[in-house]
Amino acid sequence: MGDFSHSAYRFVEFLAAAGQTIWQVMPLGPTHSDGSPYQCLSTHAGNPLLISLDWLVDKGWLEANIWDHAEDSVAWRLATLERACNTAIDTMDTGTRKDFARFVRGQNFWLEDYSRYVVLKEMHGGSAWSDWPQDLRRNVKKSVDSALVNSSRALQIRKFEQYLFFVQWRQLRNYAHEHGVYLFGDLPIFVSGDSADVWANRQYFTVDDNGQCDVVAGVPPDAFTAEGQRWGNPLYNWGQLKADGFGWWLDRLHTHFSLFDLVRIDHFRGLESYWEIPAESPTAIDGRWVKAPGAELLEQVNKHFSELPLVAEDLGIITSAVDDLRQQFSLPGMKVLQFAFDGDIDNHHLPHNHSADMVAYSGTHDNDTTTSWYHLADEQTRHHVRRYYQCADDEMPWPMIRSAMMSVAQTSIVPMQDVLGLGQGHRMNTPGTTEGNWRWRFDWEQIDDGLAGRLRELAGTYSRLPDTGPAKSYQVENSWPLSERRQA
C-alpha cells in the first residue's frame, strides 16, 4: 500500500535523476470502499491511508517493530494510525501542540464538518448520511451535538489525522521542490453524494433534506462506453452558488492550490454544460445537456487568486463553446495519443496537430497501458500507429513516449505503467465499471538501472530539462493557510 513514507521520497529522487519536473497524482482524498479517488468523502480532506506509519515511528508515537507481524490491510493501517494519534495527543510537545492548534483554526472552515461527518458515519456502521436518523441527516446542530456528546476524543483524532496528512504532504512537497519537481493535482468536478461536503452544504447541491436526488451527473455515450457513464453524483445548485459569490468553489480551490503547484479540473466540460440524468435512469443514455455558469465562476476565481495554475481536462464530447471557455481563461487543454489513430490525419490528438497551450499524454489513468492498448487494437489502428511512427510492434510504448515528449505542447505527461513498459493487466481504471479499479502498484524491482538515464536523454533531446536550479519552494514552516474569504 503506497503512502508518504521513504519510497515516496525515493520516487522524487528517481524523477529528478530522470530529468522529470512534474509529478501528476490522482485526487488524494479519503475514498469509499471502492477506492475511487474521484468519489471522496471530502473535497478538502486527505486520505488517512497515505499517512506514513514509519514517520510516526520516528516521532516515537508508534513502536519500532510495528511491521514485524503486520498484515498491511486497510483495517490494520487505520487501527494502527488511531493508536498513534491517541499516543501523540497525550504526549506531543508544546511546539507540535501549538502547530496542531494553528492547523485546526486555519482549516476549520471544512475540518469541523468533516470530523463530525466521519465520526457519525462510524457510529452508523459506515452507512451513507442519507440513511441516518432524520435530524442527523438534516444536520440539525442540536441533534448532532447530542449524538456526539461523548465523542470529543474521536473528533480530535480525526482532526489530528488530517494534521498528520497535511504535515507529511507539505514535507514531501518541499522535498520535491528541492529536487526541481512540481506537484500536479487533480480536482474532480463533482463530489460524492455521500460526503461531508454535501451533508454540511446541501444548499449548493441538487439534493433534498434526506439526501435524495431527482437528477444526477454523468456523461453521454462516448469512446469508453456505449451506454455513457452514470456517475450518480448530485449536480450543483448553480443559482445558490452564484448568489453566494461561488464561495464554496473558492474555498475548494484554495485548499488545492495550497497542496499543489498545478491542478487539473477533471471533466472541465461540465463547467460549460453538464449532462443531467434522471435519477431513476439505470444508464446515462437518457440525459440532456444543461448550461453551467463556468465563465462567471472562473471570473471570480481569476479575481480571487493572483495566479490560475489550472489545466482543463477537455476530453470527450467537446464543443466550440467549451474550447472558447478554456481559451478565454488561457487554460491548457489535454491531448491523448491513444485517441489519435483513427486514420484521420487531422485528428487533433496527433502530435503534429498539437499546440503549445496543451498537455500531451501517451495515456491517462482512464486508459489501458499503451502497450496493452496497442496489442489489443484492431490491425487497422496498429497499421496507422506503425506508419505514423515508422516503428515495429515490439517497440511499444517508447515511440508514443517519445512523441509525447517531442510534442510542442508545453507539458508532457507519461503514466508510470508506460514508463515501465507494462502490458495487459496493469490498467488503473476502466471507466463505467466499479470493480477491480484503483489497485495498481509498481515495485522498485521493475525499474532497471538505465531507465532514469533513458528518460533524461529524451527530456534533454526535446528541450524538457529544467534550465536552472530547483523549483521554487513554497515551504511554510510555522503557519497554516487560512481561506482568505473565510478570514475576511
Residuewise pLDDT in 10s, the chain (488 residues)? 889 999 999 999 999 999 999 999 999 999 999 999 999 999 999 999 999 999 999 999 999 999 988 888 999 999 999 999 999 999 999 999 999 999 999 999 999 999 999 999 999 999 999 999 999 999 999 999 999 999 999 999 999 999 999 999 999 999 999 999 999 999 999 999 999 999 999 999 999 988 999 999 999 987 768 889 999 999 999 999 999 999 999 999 999 999 999 999 999 999 999 999 999 999 999 999 999 999 999 999 999 998 889 999 999 889 999 999 999 999 999 999 999 999 999 999 999 999 999 999 999 999 999 999 999 999 999 999 999 999 999 999 999 999 999 999 999 999 999 999 999 999 999 988 888 999 999 999 999 999 999 999 999 999 999 875 544 443 434 444 544 444 43
Look at residue 213 and tell me if it is in a domain.
yes
Which of these, 94, 111, 92, lies nearest to 103 by C-alpha position? 111
- Does 54 participate in catalysis according to the annotation? no
H helix and E strand count, the chain? 18, 11
The count of other CB atoms within 10 Å of the CB of residue 158 is 23
- From the candidates 99, 251, 266, 418, which is the catalytic residue? 266
Domain of 35 in residue numbering reads as 6-54+162-464
Which of these, 453, 448, 378, 436, lies nearest to 34 by C-alpha position? 436
Look at residue 299 and tell me if it is in a domain.
yes
- Does 145 participate in catalysis according to the annotation? no
User: Which residues, other chains included, contact 8 with Cβ-Cβ below 8 Å and sequence gap of 6+?
Assistant: 2, 52, 172
Look at residue 63 and tell me if it is in a domain.
no
- From the candidates 99, 366, 368, 418, which is the catalytic residue? 366
Look at residue 110 and tell me if it is in a domain.
no
Look at residue 73 and tell me if it is in a domain.
no
- From the candidates 313, 314, 368, 418, which is the catalytic residue? 313
Look at residue 451 and tell me if it is in a domain.
yes
CATH number of the domain bearing residue 317: 3.20.20.80
Look at residue 436 and tell me if it is in a domain.
yes
CB 8 within 8 A of CB 170: no
- Does 445 participate in catalysis according to the annotation? no
Number of compact structural domains in the chain: 1
Look at residue 355 and tell me if it is in a domain.
yes
